[in-house]
A and B are shown apart, each in its own frame.
Chain A
Amino acid sequence: MAMKFEKKGEGLYMLDVKGYVCPHPQIYTKKALEKLRSGDILEVVFDNPSSSESISAMCESNGNEIVEKKMEGGVFTFRIRKS
């Protein structure tokens, strides 16, 4: 499955990196967040468990807030508000 990045609504974007292993999910998340405006929401969908720790730590370090974390059947969905 190829990486997908799309606009879902005003200020809401979705990055789908299911199927990708490290380091792709966290690097794509970082690159996507760099492109967004302050206050925009990025919904990251991934299924590589170790990326959840890395993305959480990256957001904590950069001041981006993870407003929602979901995990179902091995698929993680993080909604991140850009600072």
Chain B
Amino acid sequence: MQEIPRKNKVWALIIVGFFVLVSLVSYGFHEYYVYLQAYLWFGFIYGMCLQYGRFCFASAFRDLFAVGVPRMVVGIVIATMLFAFTSAFVNATGWSTFHPAPTSIHAVIAGLFFGIGMVFAGGCASGSLYKTGEGNGVALMVILSISVTQAIFVDIGGWFNKLVPESWRLSAAQKGLPPSINVTDGWVDQYLAGYVWNQPTLRFAEMLGMKTDSIAGAFLGNFFVGVVLPATVLLIWVYSVWVRKNVVKRAMESKGTVTFSDHLNGFWGMVTSSKRTAIAGLFLGIACGLQMFVIEGLRMKFGVKNAGTLLARLGFDYGLSAKGTVFDPGYWYVTTQEAQWVGWTLHKLTGINFMDNIFFGWVNGIPNPAFNPADWMSVALIGGSAVMALLQNEFKFKKPTRELATWAIIGGFFMGIGSRLGLGCNVGGFFVRAANGDPSGWLFGIGMIGGAFVGVKFFNWWTERKMAKEMAELEFEL
């Protein structure tokens, strides 16, 4: 391994120093800032883990379908199981900040959009954040595209109202939302209040007659039945389709027969094929569970249920939702805060009212990004990734080419739509939900797999075409 240049170490120190300074100075203003700092430092840890393990949900099924590499699927399954275990502990204590999402076919459709988008963009929502920390300009463009798409999509009305089924419109109108939301104007508003909110919220524990905040419900219902079993089925499927044939081939070549023991060794080899990814999954899973615990503890300490109350107490009441809340999931999330900063910016710059929709006006608000806890998490995630990349000498500024910029914008657009249809991305829509025993997470995941398959089929055609052009002048004896 080559030596790390001194300037990399200095820059890493400057980034860490910046976050330490922000923490100290903000704490000097008021102890409430500890709440935002908790988001910040967990974001920093996520960034380091993601960069170290090259942990990108997009590559999981894309690399599987495109080049037959299962390492990231395995890494994500490990992280999901570990996060599920720590979540089960937090759930059993009753300290969890997690709320299940409505479960229906919409999650699959949303995942499909998202899956296509992440293959086109070259990274999922969280992957694009950490790759931005590596100096990747394409990833930054993906973030911009996701952010702008979401902010506009959640507010779009006018002609798009004609695409809303009458049943959604009527159902949305009956939800008793305040007039400021104007719920019958806006496609997403009517989709949410007229369809999504009517779907059941489920968890495996309750489906099996147990309670999530009990040891049996958390560990047997949500963790074992809701995560370990489907994750094991997923791994066996991956092994059977992509890895088994190589294990059989090698065993036949070396001893002329294949035993059950060969398959067990092959399966274990698949699980341990990338130590970096597995280690990152381990730390990521633990940190995700710990964040829930810490945020809930801080809510109890400060006597609040949402960061909006803290911001109001600090005198920052601009951009709070009609309920006085801001987006404050209490766990790792990516896309909502990206929509928020664009919503806030457009609201400020254009004067267009971005608070007359459910997403911003009723639920998440558009607080100043400088005081938005989830934005602190995302910025720190980029910083954590940059530190890790610098310390491994992998940081490199990369300007996007026209071709990659186009893919970034198209991919970000699809991911932005998918995120809002599914009420979350690969993290909030799949990872966190699946790990907390919410079946809608798995539905979103199934959609993502389908979308990745479609995206890979397209990319195979695209690269084949480009390679053919490059190779036209070369002679091959094929």
Contacts and interface: CB of A to CB of B under 8 A. Distances in A.
B404 A20 contact: yes
B273 interface: yes
Interface in B386-413: 389, 392-396, 398-399, 401, 403-404
A57 B459 CA distance: 20
Given A5-B467, A49-B394, A21 B2 contact: no
A26 B67 contact: yes
Given A21-B136, A37-B477, A49-B54, A74 B394 contact: yes
A2 B394 contact: no
A61 B246 contact: yes
Given A37-B477, A54-B59, A19 B404 contact: yes
B466 A22 contact: no
Interface in A11-32: 19-24, 26-32
A70 to B, nearest CB: 9
B122 A58 contact: no
B59 A32 contact: no
A53 B279 CA distance: 14
Interface string A34-67: 0111000000000111101110011011100000
Nearest to A27: B463
B470 A4 contact: yes
A9 interface: no
Interface residues of A, number: 40
Contacts of A53: 54, 71, 274, 276-277
Contacts of A60: 273
For the residues of B in contact with A, the DSSP-based class is helix
Interface string B124-161: 00000001001110110000000000000000000000
B54 A71 contact: no
Contacts of A54: 59, 63, 67, 69, 71-72
Given A58-B68, A71-B2, A5 B474 contact: yes
Given A5-B474, A26-B66, A50 B398 contact: no
A13 B139 CA distance: 29
B459 A27 contact: yes
17 contacts: A4-B470, A5-B470, A19-B401, A21-B131, A22-B122, A26-B66, A27-B459, A35-B467, A35-B476, A36-B476, A50-B131, A53-B71, A53-B277, A54-B63, A57-B63, A74-B135, A75-B396
Interface of B: 2, 51, 54, 56, 58-59, 62-63, 66-72, 119, 122-123, 131, 134-136, 138-139, 242-243, 246, 273-274, 276-277, 389, 392-396, 398-399, 401, 403-404, 456, 459-460, 463-464, 466-467, 470-471, 474, 476-478
Instruction: Give me the 3 closest cross-chain CB pairs, A-B, nearest first.
Output: A74-B396, A50-B54, A21-B122
